Amino acid sequence: MNMIFDTHSHYDDKAFDEDRDTLLTNLFENGVCAVVNQGTDVGTSRLGLELAEKYDRVFAAVGLHPECLTEKSISDLEKIKDLAKHPKAVAIGEIGLDYYYDIPKVLQKQIFTAQLDIAKDLDMPVNIHDREAHGDMLDILKKYSPRGILHCFSGSVEMAKDIIKLGMYIGIGGVLTFKNAVKIVEVVRNIPLESIVLETDCPYLAPVPFRGKRNDSRYIEYTAQRIAKIKGITVEKVLETTKYNAEYVYNINVKQ
């Protein structure tokens, strides 16, 4: 049975250039029921939609990633809004704040909130990136209260609970399986499975035992096993509930 729903992937990445078609075809015969490819700029958002046109079980989020912003990004907002009207566009993503990189915070907040407005206008969920920006992120989310997912969650248990109170979901990926993972293990232990969705962020962040290798959606199995162990439940229960959550948040129904 195909129960793995990968809510955050980058199959347009050049790491998949050599075997993208074989890999995607095999995924859907090997436990994966759906993937949502995330855009990072206009080009990758388009590539995601092309993959979604080609494969039933691929869906696309379109958006401008904070790492990819320039002054010209403001003029790309209209293009993102147009792409979001594609029938297989299910979310605005990957959008957010990244204070690790030296990109002006004012510009980041401007583009992020403009995309939250686009999502609201089109009644779509968002997929959010938050790196070293927890304070500003929480302020903005409380103000805009979008529907959606906070991906690759790296905050505290308290922040996770605040996000859940807003009705949002917490995206959990391979980082959970890393030997030095402490904070995220506590988060998983202290939030309900009903607020968790699974993700890869592939080609990056492969779970143990594939850490450092190219990631793909099949490896979500290892992240699910870790959650099952932390919560003392079965892997099937983890996959089934997170699949349901992902279908709900993206407003799609996928075949098993």
**b/e map 30-48, b = 16+ CB within 10 Å:** ebbbbbbbbbbbbebbbbb
Among residues 70, 64, 158, 68, the alpha carbon closest in space to that of 114 is found at: 64
- Give the integer Cα–Cα distance in Å for 172 and 7: 10
Closest to Ni ion by CB, 41 or 201 = 201
Nearer to Ni ion, 98 or 189 (CB): 98
Number of residues forming the site for Ni ion (CB under 5 A) = 2
- Closest alpha carbon to 113 in 89, 87, 77: 77
CA dihedral sign, ordered 14, 215, 6, 112 = negative
Distance CA 84, CA 177 (A): 33
Q: Is 162 strand, coil or helix? A: helix
Residue closer to Ni ion (CB basis): 67 or 240: 67
From 22-30, 91-99, 164-172, 238-246, span contacting Ni ion (CB under 5 A): 91-99
Structure-token match 């099937």, residue found = 236
6 binds Ni ion (CB under 5 A): no
Q: How far is the CB of 202 from Ni ion (least distance, A)?
A: 9
Q: How far is the CB of 41 from Ni ion (least distance, A)?
A: 12
CB of residue 54 to Ni ion, shortest distance in Å: 21
Q: Are 63 and 32 in contact (CB under 8 A)?
A: no
Question: Taking CB under 5 A as the criterion, which residues in 196-225 touch Ni ion?
Answer: 201
Q: How far is the CB of 236 from Ni ion (least distance, A)?
A: 27
Position closest to Ni ion via CB: 201
Q: Which range in 93-101, 112-120, 164-172, 233-241 contacts Ni ion by CB under 5 A?
A: 93-101
156-195 footprint of Ni ion as x/- string (CB under 5 A)? ----------------------------------------
Of 146 and 173, the one with the shorter C-beta distance to Ni ion is 173
Residue 101's φ and ψ, nearest 5 degrees, are -90, 155
Positions in the binding site for Ni ion (CB under 5 A)? 94, 201
